[in-house]
A and B are shown apart, each in its own frame.
Chain A
Amino acid sequence: MNLPTFTSRIFLIFPNSMLSRLFVIFVCFLLQSSSFISIFNIQPNFILIGIVIVTLKNDLLDGIKIGLFAGLFQDIISYGTFGMGLFTKTLSGFFAALLKKQIFSDNILSKMLIVFLVTLLDGATSLILINLFYTKVNILNALYSTTLPIAICSGLILGVFLLFERILIGYVVNK
């Protein structure tokens, strides 16, 4: 199984790979609900970062499963009405897997790009649903002022995390 490096290490602790990946998503939820990590007051979307990290390459169905779990969990604990998280996160999980398949995702920059694109897509979907079911919102304006900064921030945070991970692995291997 082509597990990402980060997950494969957690996989050693939890024998079931799906369980280990869902654990990563759970940690991402905890990070998202606290507001410790932010860049210029913008908090990245850790759930989408988590989805991109744990989604398997070349497996679209896996992306759907991971996204569905994340969406279900979001809907259970979030204030938004039921179904919003399920819709947006399932779609995001699918696109994360699709982009991982299409883009060479073994380097840091492409992973950052995937998170950026998935966050933009998640934002656009959320805004369309808000427009359809809640209230009229200027989608382009909201995309520019809210989603774009979150997408950039999420990409940067993942980049920093992966860079740290790479440095750490290099250090351990050298030792």
Chain B
Amino acid sequence: MWRKFLLKYKVYIILICLLLIFTIVLYYSVKAEYRSFGKSSLVLEIIYPWQKLTLKLFGGLKHIWQTGIYFVNLKKDNDRLNKELLMLREENNKLMEVMKENERLKSLLDYKKKVNFKNKVAMVIGRDINDYFSVIYIDVGEKDGIKRDMPVITYNGVVGRVVDVLSEISKVLLITDYNSSISGSIQRTRCVGSVKGRGNNICEMKHLSVNDDVKVNDLVITSGDGKFPKGLVIGEVINVSESLDGMSLNILVKPTVNVLKIEEVLVMLKE
């Protein structure tokens, strides 16, 4: 009878056993704060060239796609106008792209001059595959003098901090990640709290009492207590409410940097 039962529900039993094992693995890895990245640099070294190739391939495909869309739209006109318009638009597109890139790099360069710390410009080459952890990869690593815990910023504000470094790439934990926590203060009233990631491009400011003066649209900046230098913009307060215990405030902060759209960043090297 048992044999029949086991055979009938074999798959379900396997699934339940596996899930139990994975829960135990997860429990112990959370307890031991085990991060897979550091142990698997070899895997990433293997994946990195593929990732680079994908970026190039998709860059090309995107270009072909855009050209294709233009072609479909302009096919209604005659061939001469079609070709001319296609060429002009393509050229315009390239120029716009160059112009936008110039604007971004100029802002970054201006900001770089203002920042007292030594810094390094880096390009974002990839994102974490998990929807619930916000991590990006940048194209600078140990060779460029990057070390763990270095702050990563843009001219708009704080992006995150370096959590792992390989020879040519580094992993940056964004401020919106559930694991991220930095010390911040309200610019207007100088109240200091802890800015934690909430996922979905939102942060939460904690440890502020109900008596603290915080309003919507207040700017949140780094307080200088942690790894980040003082005065860097983190974000803007979008919601303030009392917590259930009535003792503290629940503050939602929208980062000034759109972490989903970052293309270039500055890594602040330690002196």
Contact = CB atoms under 8 A, between A and B. Distances in A.
A78 B130 contact: yes
Interface residues of A, number: 49
Given A29-B129, A34-B55, A127-B132, A81 B30 contact: yes
Given A36-B58, A77-B44, A79-B163, A64 B11 contact: yes
A33 interface: yes
A108 interface: no
Contacts of B62: 36
Q: How large is the interface on B (under 10, 10 to 19, 20 to 34, 35 or more residues)?
A: 35 or more
Contact of A33 (B43, B51, B177): B51
A30 B40 contact: no
B30 A77 contact: no
Chain A contact surface mostly: helix
B35 A77 contact: no
A110 interface: no
A94 interface: yes
Interface of A: 29-37, 41, 43, 45, 47, 60-61, 64, 68, 71, 74-87, 90-91, 94, 123, 126-127, 129-130, 133-135, 137, 142, 145-147, 150
Given A78-B135, A123-B132, 15 more contacts: A29-B47, A29-B129, A36-B59, A43-B127, A45-B131, A71-B22, A74-B130, A77-B44, A79-B130, A83-B27, A87-B22, A90-B19, A91-B15, A94-B11, A133-B27
